């Protein structure tokens, strides 16, 4: 899968694991190799609470670029990553 944001793109190999109430994405290859995204789904009174935790590991060009990115831009990029993963899963 290729992830693109703000003029940067990276091809990554993604391992997706689904357990009882957790979706786990681990990036195995690419500049974000070693990154882990854990998404928990918990039942609440009026629906489902979704919580994502990201354990970010960056190498290569992405690691030096990160120092120049504002928190808002980083959040936007992370949302793009999640959207890309979601579309990949839905279309697989």
Q: Kindly tell me if the per-residue pLDDT of 17 is higher than 80.
A: yes
For residues 53 and 37, what is the distance between their CA atoms, to the nearest angstrom?
Answer: 6
Q: What is the pTM of this model?
A: 0.64
In this structure, what token pair is assigned to residue 52? 């994502």
For the chain, what are the domain ranges? 2-82
The answer to whether 32 touches 62, Cβ cutoff 8 Å, is yes
Which residues, in sequence order, are CB contacts of 75 under 8 Å at separation 6+? none
Q: Kindly tell me if the per-residue pLDDT of 6 is higher than 70.
A: no
The answer to whether 82 touches 11, Cβ cutoff 8 Å, is no
16 vs 5 pLDDT, higher one: 16
- Nearest CA-CA partner of 16 in 4, 3, 31, 1: 1
What's the rounded mean pLDDT across residues 4-25? 81
Element (H, E) at 53: strand 47-55
Place of tokens 């391992």: 15
What's the rounded mean pLDDT across residues 15-25? 90
């Amino acid at each position: 899968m290729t992830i693109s944001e703000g003029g940067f793109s990276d091809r990554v190999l993604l391992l997706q694991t689904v357990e009882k109430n957790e979706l786990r994405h681990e990036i195995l290859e690419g500049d974000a190799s070693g990154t882990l995204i854990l998404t928990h789904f918990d039942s609440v009174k009026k629906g489902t609470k979704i919580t994502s935790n990201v354990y970010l590991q960056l190498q290569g060009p992405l690691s030096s670029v990160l120092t120049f990115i504002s928190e808002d831009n980083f959040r936007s990029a992370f949302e793009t990553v999640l959207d890309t993963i979601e579309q990949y899963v839905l279309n697989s």
